[in-house]
Amino acid sequence: MKAKKILLASGLILAGGIVATGLALHQSHIERQKAAILESVRSVFETLGSLQVLYINDFESSDVFMTGGVVLEDGRVFHFTYDRGQLDYQQEK
């Protein structure tokens, strides 16, 4: 009986470790995707001028959809939406 409890506890600990590792890998994958999206957005806006600020709205964003804005050094402000490889932006008036 004692060996059974030890085996069960070991199995539960192992399962918990596997779940934690899976969650960490998933979070790492999402962060890499967000970094790639930000690099793509940055490269598009750098053609319009030097960037002063690039921000994202985390509360509206996911791993494939992102909203945010850019402020260029000349004072122009743009709002953007990135959705599955498609970047749409408009200049603030």
Strand partners, 24: none
The pLDDT confidence band at residue 69, using thresholds 50, 70 and 90, is very high
Predicted confidence at residue 88, as pLDDT, reads 95
Q: Is pLDDT of 34 > 80?
A: yes
Helix%, strand%, coil% for the chain, nearest 5: 50, 30, 20
Q: Which domains does the chain have, with CATH numbers?
A: 2-91 (3.10.450.400)
This prediction has a pTM of: 0.73
